[in-house]
Structure 1
Amino acid sequence: MALFMEAPICLVENIDGELKLNPKALQILTSITKPVVVVAIAGLYRTGKSYLMNRLAGSNSGFSLGSTVQSETKGIWMWCVPHRSKQDHILVLLDTEGLGDVEKGDPKNDSWIFALAVLLSSTFVYNSMNTINHQALEQMQYVTELTKLIKIKSSPNAAGEEESEEFVGFFPDFVWTVRDFTLELKIDGCPITSDQYLENALKLSKGKNPRVEVANLPRECIRKFFPKRKCFTFDRPTNDKSLLACLEDVPDRELEPSFRTQTDSFCSYIFSSAKPKTLSGGIMINGRRLGKLLETYVRTISSGDVPCLENAVLSLAQTENPDAVQKAAKHYVEQMALKVDFPTETLQDLLSIHTECEKEALSIFMKHSFKDENQKFQKELMQILETKKDGFICQNEEVSTEYCQAQLEYLSQSLREAISKGTFSVSGGYNLFRKEKEDIINNYHQMPRKGLKADAVLQKFLQSLAVTEDSILQTDQALTEQEKALQVEQSKREAAEKEKKLLQQQQVEMQQKMETQERSYKENINQLERKMVEERHKILQEQKMILDSKLKEQEKLMEEGFQKKAEEMNKTIEGLQAKIEDAENNKFSWLPKTLDTIGNVMIHTLPGAGKFVGIQLKALASSLSE
């Protein structure tokens, strides 16, 4: 599926008041494996939202602009294009249907469209006309409904005001674009920036009557949910009314220079500042994951329930983590097949390559997995890699065995023919036999790349000749009985030495397997530790960001004279400070449980050496818990 679309496509259809996913658009989205920067735009219908999105796509046309009082965009339309400045990222543009369309039967859909735009985007653009005044803020009632339309946690106790405080950790950056802006950017005669204009418009009004409280509500919600805010004001594109009706066909040179500059400034900000879409803990979102989340959200909305971010992330993990296991296992098998040149001279040669490939496979799993509760999927990967490793060891032994047997068959062909002809059944025949046998052994030892089964196959070959050799020895009349007895003893010593050598080799190989499994365990723990430390660091940074935004909001409320509202924030701030302090003081509290979990899986799934390591692991976990 092509990632770069020539034109937008409807992603979420709004048909007769019901939201449905377009399978074709969803297939395009889920085919994107690169990280996505998601920019969604919402606003009242007929305010020029689509024009800005087309400009972000590098085009004048694409999203339908419309030229009548009817809303053109129904549902949510999507356009995926290469990101202009972030290499290996895709810019996903989402244009939502105009809010407040009087022709709609069910205004509830406006709220769901608005909520979906917030949930999906990493930068959310709200587009309005003329000015940010009381009326414009009243039309932003959709932001006040978000706490009723979105849940952070599945727990019924985690609702209401405390949960709404956590929205800031999940919500996108906020950009307010004001079109056909005709006012001077001044306050009390002093020039201000568009950002200052927005912040001034979001100041709370004083008073306790219901009208003031209603007017303040959208302001409070925007300040609470979107701590990172930006504003752009745009002059009228052209004073020629006939050109406004077909703006997508108007060459840039015919637009007002100030409008072109403002549009370029807006686009430049989005390209440089809009972040890739992530979930809490720094979970990277690509098109595939975004599509899965969207499916969960729309399915939940259609069922009459409220989307829960915690459930959506856990559901996503259940589909993504098995894929992470398969990606890692596939990489391991491919790399082993590429790097192992069968047969290897020693087991250690193969195990060294295994260790390298396993480390790479684990890194891939850690990169693509998340929310792996109790390391369920990591354990699954450990079991798969152990099985695959054993398969490669068996293959290595089989290739070595088959090769060595074939070589000995070739080298001993003349010896076997001589035995059949009775060449050695003569006086002095035993010494002739011994010489032929030694020549075969010498030639065999000189042959390269026999692999780790060289000695075992040779020993079996010599054992196959033992009866014949003894028969030739006993019938050789050139030897005395004493010489024959000495020769028998020598043959027994040689056989015993070879058996001892094979046993020592097996012991060495067993030790090598044990050491490899211990390295495997350490690598699993090290990579898991790095991942969890990194995730906890990101969550800690998110909590600090939320705390910082609350402290700034509290300070702003005090400056504006809302002492009581500022004091009401103390409980939330103290709760956040306690969470941060606890996280910093208990960075490795997860380790004993994790060690115990992985110890269990090694005891129950790995052979003897692995069981020993597993027992050690559980003992370490127990000591750390005390």
Structure 2
Amino acid sequence: MASETHMSGPECLIENTNGRLLVNPKALKILSAIKQPVVVVAIVGPYRTGKSYLMNKLAGKNKGFSLGSTVQSHTKGIWMWCVPHPKKPNRTLVLLDTEGLGDVEKGDNQNDSWIFALAILLSSTFVYNSMGTINQQAMDQLHYVTELTDRIRAKSSPDVDGFEDSADFVSFFPDFVWTLRDFSLDLEADGQSITADEYLQNSLKLRKGTNQKDKNFNLPRLCIRQFFPNKKCFIFDRPTSRKKLGQLEELCDDDLDSEFVQQAAVFCSYIFSNSKTKTLSGDVKVNGPRLETLVQTYVNAISSGDVPCMENAVLALAEIENSAAVQKAIAHYDQQMGQKLQLPTETLQELLDLHRASEKEAIEVFMKRSFKDIDHVFQKELGAQLDKKRDGFCDQNLKASSDHCSALLKDIFGPLEEGVRQGIYSKPGGYRLFIEKIQELKKKYLEQPRKGIQAEEILQVYLKSKESVMDAILQTDQTLSEKEKLIEVERVKAESAQAAAKMLQEMQTKNQQMMEQKEKSYQEHVKQLTEKMEKDRVQLLKEQERTLALKLQEQAQLLQEGFQEKNTRLHQEIKNLKKKMQERNNYCSLS
């Protein structure tokens, strides 16, 4: 799998040209080849803060993402580097480096907001990189987080009150990592040593007050606390002297500050061990092609003036995946039937049993790959295609049997027909000879194996076509009296009627078997769908329980900090979440 993700260096994924965001087809092609689940780490922050250096370290290289050594911003748009995951052999690490926020040369922060939003939408770990301490200036630079509810929608239609719960965002937001560069303070609070995580937690505490300044102070902190499920902080000393910063790509670890080297190693180790696989609601693991679709969907939405919607993107992805799941299921069915089926089958039931076994496996293939199949549209499509395949095989089976039986009759009854042409039965006692020969040849025909389901019908059609010949021989046989001839005519009629009744019974049996098969197919679809829906329900409940735990934790923190009024909205969110969970439980128990 490593060969799939071998990139000698980064490739631009989303170009930012004159304020327009465009997806790079070459980068999409790279993603389309990655069949493994992906761990996506995106880094965002003010320009000239050393983001690219950290991303190169995660790629295991000194060079790659452009560092730049001047005050000019180097990275434009979003650049991608896919590398084999150093700690998870069945995963690919996708690194996304973004252009610096607040570049004065751009003169328009609209693009900054979109770059920030895209990094969140695409990543499973979101790294925010800034210089110095977490002070108000740092928070002001992070104003993009306060605009996220305007830039991103979780659902295609908001709840009745017109708002989207932060719980909706938590369900798909990445983990948040704040990296503080050139950090020069001692990590202390009230005379006690604290960790970087505790420093971040203290920095996110709210300020009491109701004026605009207090609201501005609290808003970015509230957003970080409520939107991001997990939060982590790392501090870094200055890597080397200011004079050497411009040659950072050329310097080896021995030339850098030892504390910085150690801090970078700890950061990389954390990212490798803790960054999760990019996952969508319903525990849908994102691989390269799925990430490719998400990139296109989000950038297309932005380019057309829409707000990227997570739910819509997942549904668009589901359409592509479910369509592919139907094709894969049908291909599996065709493969199984091709391997096991030999036409003609001796009975219809033999064919239907093979169909049923292959159909069951095909539905399993579909269920494994499909997700969010609204109104079961694609499963119904699969069912319709499988029914068509079954009917097609039934038709082929009929034809194969008919063709084989016709050829067999021609071969077996050929000598009889030749005898009729030569007139050997047109003589006294010829009728008896003719009937004996027919019985002998019928026995020979019936003893032939694997004639298929048309054996009786083709035989009766053939015998019916010889009735006029038989009658002519009967009428010209002078050894039989008129009474004997009448008796023989009635016997032939009775035999013909008996054969017709037998054929009718066989047809009814076949129809019954087909009806039973259709019911079994329906029940198999229902059974596997029920099992999948139960798995999905359990998974969604797990996700909601995780979100609920985070919301309850945030609620406890707000109460501890004395923010009763801010707790009202959160309390309503928790209530809504509990209601959804209860409804899901009730729905399942009734189904």
Task: State the TM-score, normalized to the length of structure 1.
Answer: 0.86
- Cα deviation, residue 556, structure 1: 1.2
Amino acid at match of 2:108: D
Please list the CA deviations of residues 291-331 of structure 1 after superposition, one character each: whole Å capped at 9, or x if unmatched.
33322322222233322333333444444443333333333
Aligned twin of 1:102: 104
Amino acid at match of 1:119: L
- Cα deviation, residue 478, structure 1: 4.0
Using the alignment, how far apart are the partners of 2:261 and 2:343 within structure 1? 65
Amino acid at match of 1:293: L
Conserved? CA contact 1:17–1:105, under 8 Å: no
Aligned twin of 1:367: 368
SS in 2 for 1:245: helix
SS in 2 for 1:509: helix
Please list the CA deviations of residues 518-552 of structure 1 after superposition, one character each: whole Å capped at 9, or x if unmatched.
11111222222223233333333222222211110
Amino acid at match of 2:474: L
- Cα deviation, residue 402, structure 1: 0.9
| Higher mean C-alpha displacement, 344-353 vs 78-87 | 78-87
Aligned twin of 2:131: 129
Is 1:540 matched with 2:541? yes
Using the alignment, how far apart are the partners of 1:319 and 1:35 within structure 2? 17
Using the alignment, how far apart are the partners of 1:163 and 1:461 within structure 2? 76
Aligned twin of 2:289: 288
Aligned twin of 2:147: 145
Using the alignment, how far apart are the partners of 2:13 and 2:132 within structure 1? 30
Cα root mean square deviation, aligned: 2.8
Amino acid at match of 1:274: S
Aligned twin of 2:206: 204
Aligned twin of 1:217: 219
Amino acid at match of 1:172: P
Is 1:229 matched with 2:267? no
- Cα deviation, residue 460, structure 1: 1.8
Aligned twin of 2:389: 388
Conserved? CA contact 1:151–1:159, under 8 Å: no
Task: State the TM-score, normalized to the length of structure 2.
Answer: 0.91
Aligned twin of 1:418: 419
Alignment of structure 1 residues 398-409 onto 2, 5 Å: 398-409=399-410
Amino acid at match of 2:127: V
Alignment of structure 1 residues 494-509 onto 2, 5 Å: 494-509=495-510
Please list the CA deviations of residues 474-531 of structure 1 after superposition, one character each: whole Å capped at 9, or x if unmatched.
3333444454444444433433333233222222211111111111111222222223
Aligned twin of 2:532: 531
- Cα deviation, residue 72, structure 1: 1.5
Using the alignment, how far apart are the partners of 2:475 and 2:182 within structure 1? 114
| Higher mean C-alpha displacement, 522-531 vs 342-351 | 522-531
Please list the CA deviations of residues 22-64 of structure 1 after superposition, one character each: whole Å capped at 9, or x if unmatched.
2222333345454332221111222222233233334333222
Conserved? CA contact 2:165–2:573, under 8 Å: no
SS in 1 for 2:524: helix
2:17 corresponds, among 11, 15, 29, to 15
Conserved? CA contact 1:30–1:292, under 8 Å: no
- Cα deviation, residue 581, structure 1: 2.1
Say if 1:109 and 1:391 are closer, same or farther in 2 by CA, change over 3 A.
same
Conserved? CA contact 1:343–1:451, under 8 Å: yes
- Cα deviation, residue 160, structure 1: 6.6
Using the alignment, how far apart are the partners of 2:557 and 2:38 within structure 1? 34
| Higher mean C-alpha displacement, 83-92 vs 511-520 | 83-92
| Higher mean C-alpha displacement, 104-113 vs 297-306 | 297-306
- Cα deviation, residue 121, structure 1: 1.3
Aligned twin of 2:65: 63
Amino acid at match of 2:358: C
Say if 1:344 and 1:56 are closer, same or farther in 2 by CA, change over 3 A.
farther
Say if 1:529 and 1:318 are closer, same or farther in 2 by CA, change over 3 A.
same
For structure 2, the residue ranges without an aligned partner over 5 or more in a row are none
Alignment of structure 1 residues 147-296 onto 2, 5 Å: 147-155=149-157, 162-237=164-239, 239=240, 244-252=245-253, 255=256, 258-296=259-297
Aligned twin of 1:311: 312
Say if 1:404 and 1:244 are closer, same or farther in 2 by CA, change over 3 A.
farther
Amino acid at match of 1:292: T
Please list the CA deviations of residues 257-291 of structure 1 after superposition, one character each: whole Å capped at 9, or x if unmatched.
55454444433433333222233233443333333
Aligned twin of 2:39: 37
- Cα deviation, residue 254, structure 1: 5.1
Say if 1:55 and 1:459 are closer, same or farther in 2 by CA, change over 3 A.
farther
SS in 1 for 2:144: helix
Using the alignment, how far apart are the partners of 1:248 and 1:471 within structure 2? 105
Using the alignment, how far apart are the partners of 1:519 and 1:466 within structure 2? 43
2:76 corresponds, among 65, 74, 77, to 74
Using the alignment, how far apart are the partners of 2:255 and 2:493 within structure 1? 103
- Cα deviation, residue 117, structure 1: 0.6
Conserved? CA contact 1:26–1:291, under 8 Å: yes
- Cα deviation, residue 226, structure 1: 0.6
Aligned twin of 1:346: 347
Using the alignment, how far apart are the partners of 1:365 and 1:233 within structure 2? 47
Using the alignment, how far apart are the partners of 2:195 and 2:154 within structure 1? 34
Say if 1:414 and 1:61 are closer, same or farther in 2 by CA, change over 3 A.
farther
